[in-house]
Chain A
Amino acid sequence: MNRRGSAALLLLPGLAFLVFGFLAPAMGILFAAPGTDAGEIFTRLGAMLTDPYDLRIIGRTVGLGLIVTLVCLTLGFPIAYILARSTSRWAGVLLALAIFPLLLSNVVRTFGWLVILGSNGALAQLLVSLGVTDTPPQLLYTPFAIVMGLTQLFLPLAIIACYSAVSQVDAGLDDAARGLGASRRRTFWDIVVPLSLPGLVVAATLVFAGSVTAYTTPYLLGGSRQRMLSTELYSYSSVTVDWASASATAIVMTILVVLVSGISARLGRRGATA
């Protein structure tokens, strides 16, 4: 058999899996939800983009996604920078400690916040005993809770992406800038940050896409008060069994992620040629 033939044969099982187990059903969401037709789904999609209730959920999802992205970059880049530039033997341990949570279930990671943010939780008790407030504040089921939970989940991804970017920036450039009289701050902002920009773009994309599609965290920490696209999609499909709305929500969610991935791929390309 020729090489092309054998390559096709090797690909066949994987392609079959992808087509029947993924691509074909995914297309079905647009055109063939059970007992629904494409027209109905697109009508619902149009209504979603004007209905105040739906718009609030889309706005909350995008808004919290942006905040989480900002927080993850603000906390993750310094960690990546310190670890990548450190010569201490502890750097390896700290890096492992940052990456380890990725192996751990989101469910397990998110449960901790229930103990911390619950109505009699540790943080509320602390705030009362410090005299910040008189009554335990409502922390759970707030946007704050969701931001904390999502930051915990996606910070490791931001750190890995930033770490590999900073590692590729020659530490000699830092020294050169410093030697030429640049301040520490100037070196950081004028040398390190611009050169690791492609990594920052990757980190931002991963965190944003993860945040706007995450289910466990908004479910546990946002509850029914802070609904997001993911929790709406679940309740449309298993509580109210409203297929048109479920499909429309799925389409909005997918467009958000694909849009952001597309923009970041474009930014990455520009960064590479600049």
Chain B
Amino acid sequence: MNTRKPIAAALALAGYIIMLVPILFVVATAFTSGSTLRFPPEGFSLGWFDAALNYAPFTSALLTSLQLAVASTFLALAVGVPATLAIYRGALPGKGLVEGLFLSPLIIPELVVGLALYQQLIVTFRIENWPVLLLGHTALLLPYAVRVTGAALASSDVSLEEAARGLGASPLRAFFTITLPILRPGIFSAALLGFVTSFNNVPLSLLLQSRESRTLPITMLDYVQQSYDPMIAATSTLILAATVVIAVIAERTVGFAKIFGGINR
């Protein structure tokens, strides 16, 4: 876009090609009427979409993934938002340490967390897969909940709440009329980020899943190992379409540069 910086422009173009072209190839091959995952596609057909939507392992895994993503996002916010309030508004000794503790799941590799939960809770204590999966995903999303809602709280003025209290509002009233509206965009961002993170997660779910609780990304990985057909491209395209809808909603409401800005501080 700027011809006076030819090297930078060429590198930028290469970057966009690597980021986006593979996605275009997935979409293009999903519409093939042929039976292999190859490019250029042979003819046009919606048959593979039909096959994907009627393939029971995918549909049941989709349900599992949606349930898990909604439940873990809800739980992470339910325990994370009060913790955020305590960290950023409470008179807390060792505030930095507590915040660090809540961010710690970001540092340990997810595959390692998955292994730990598998060894300790599933193998040793014989806990069912589903609750452990939920526990793991919730722990994974906690840093997002705390950091993203914390960013919204940190950028607001604490004196607003003090003023409300000074004017005679009860703590509960001050919370619902002042603090909660301040937190709302942060909670929305955290919920969206949490949902997407849980829904797409592979490393953490990999060891924790069972036949009854297998998530969609993992079912797709398993499927590719057995057969290499365009149904995987069709499924991916459907996920892509849903993700575009989420992205548009995110962009319209909070702006997703801002959403991701919160987590990468």
Measured CB to CB, the residues of A under 8 A from B are: 3-4, 6-8, 10-11, 13-18, 20-26, 28-29, 32-34, 74-76, 78-79, 81-82, 86, 88, 90-91, 94-116, 118, 120-122, 125, 148, 151-152, 155-157, 159-161, 164, 184, 202, 206, 209, 213-216, 219-220, 230, 233-234, 237-238, 243, 246-247, 250, 253-254, 257-258, 261
- Establish whether residues B16 and A157, one from each chain, have CB atoms under 8 Å apart when the complex forms: no
Do the beta carbons of A107 and B25 come within 8 Å of each other? Answer: no
A136 to nearest B CB, angstroms? Answer: 12
Given known A21-B117, A253-B111, contact A111–B236 (CB-CB < 8 A): yes
| Given the contacts A26-B113, A112-B23, A116-B39, A106 and B86 also touching, CB distance less than 8 Å | no
Identify which of A102, A120, A243 gathers the most chain B CB atoms within 10 Å of its CB: A102
Asked whether A75 lies within 8 Å of B203 as measured between CB atoms, the reply is: no
Q: Is the CB of A101 within 8 A of B26?
A: no
A-B contact pairs, 24 of them (CB 8 A): A3-B91, A10-B83, A28-B124, A79-B11, A82-B8, A95-B257, A103-B243, A103-B250, A104-B200, A106-B200, A107-B221, A108-B23, A115-B25, A118-B37, A120-B38, A155-B19, A159-B15, A164-B264, A213-B112, A214-B203, A216-B203, A230-B109, A243-B119, A253-B112
Within 8 A of A (CB), among B1-49: 1-2, 4-5, 7-9, 11-12, 14-16, 18-26, 29, 37-40
Which chain B residue lies CB-closest to A257?
Answer: B109
Q: In the complex, are the beta carbons of B8 and A237 less than 8 A apart?
A: no
A26 and B108 form a contact (CB under 8 A): yes
Q: Given A106-B202, A115-B26, A118-B38, do A99 and B257 touch, yes or no (CB 8 Å)?
A: yes
In the complex, what distance in Å separates the CA atom of A168 from the CA atom of B239? 35
Q: Are A215 and B240 in contact (CB under 8 A)?
A: no
Partner-A contacts on B (CB < 8 A)? 1-2, 4-5, 7-9, 11-12, 14-16, 18-26, 29, 37-40, 75, 78-80, 82-83, 85-87, 89-93, 98, 101-102, 104-105, 107-113, 115-121, 123-124, 135-136, 138-139, 142, 146, 196, 199-200, 202-203, 206-207, 217, 220-221, 224, 228, 232-233, 236, 239-240, 243-244, 246-247, 250-251, 256-257, 260-261, 264
A108 CA / B92 CA spacing, docked (Å): 43
Q: Which residues of B contact A238 (CB under 8 A)?
A: 207
Q: With contacts A11-B86, A79-B15 known, is A32 near B20, CB below 8 A?
A: no
Q: Which 10 A-B pairs have the closest CB atoms?
A: A112-B22, A7-B90, A75-B15, A14-B83, A213-B109, A10-B82, A10-B86, A78-B8, A25-B120, A25-B116
Please state if A157 and B246 are interface contacts (CB–CB under 8 Å): no
A107 and B236 contacting across the interface, CB-CB below 8 Å: yes
B115: contacting residue among A15, A29, A216, A257, CB under 8 A = A29
Tell which of B5, B18, B92 touches A75, judged by Cβ atoms closer than 8 Å.
Answer: B18
In the complex formed, the residue of B with least CB distance to A34 is B123
CB distance from B165 to the nearest CB of A (A): 12
Alpha-carbon gap, A100 to B146, bound state (A): 23
**Interface contact A101-B19, CB-CB below 8 Å:** yes
Q: Is the CB of A109 within 8 A of B264?
A: no
Assuming A118-B38, A230-B203, A250-B115, is B1 touching A111 (CB within 8 A)? no
Docked pose: A188 CA to B11 CA in angstroms: 15
Query: In chain A, what residue has the closest Cβ to B14?
Result: A75
Contact A104 B39 (CB under 8 A): no
Q: A155 to nearest B CB, angstroms?
A: 5
For the A-B complex with A8-B92, A25-B113 known, give 7 more contacts whose Cβ atoms are closer than 8 Å: A7-B92, A11-B87, A106-B200, A112-B23, A115-B29, A253-B112, A254-B109
Name the B residues within 8 Å of A26 (CB-CB): 108, 112-113, 116
Residues on A with beta carbons closer than 8 Å to the beta carbon of B87: 11
Q: Are B113 and A213 in contact (CB-based, < 8 A)? A: no
- Which listed residue (B113, B232, B239, B260) contacts A160, Cβ 8 A? B260
Tell me whether B19 and A33 are in contact (CB under 8 A): no
Q: In the complex, which of the residues B83, B117, B256, B260 contacts A25, with contact meaning CB atoms closer than 8 Å?
A: B117
A233 to B113, CA, bound (A): 12
B1 touches A82 (CB 8 A): yes
Given the known A-B contacts A11-B82, A18-B139, A237-B207, are A152 and B104 also in contact in the complex, defined by CB atoms under 8 Å?
Answer: no
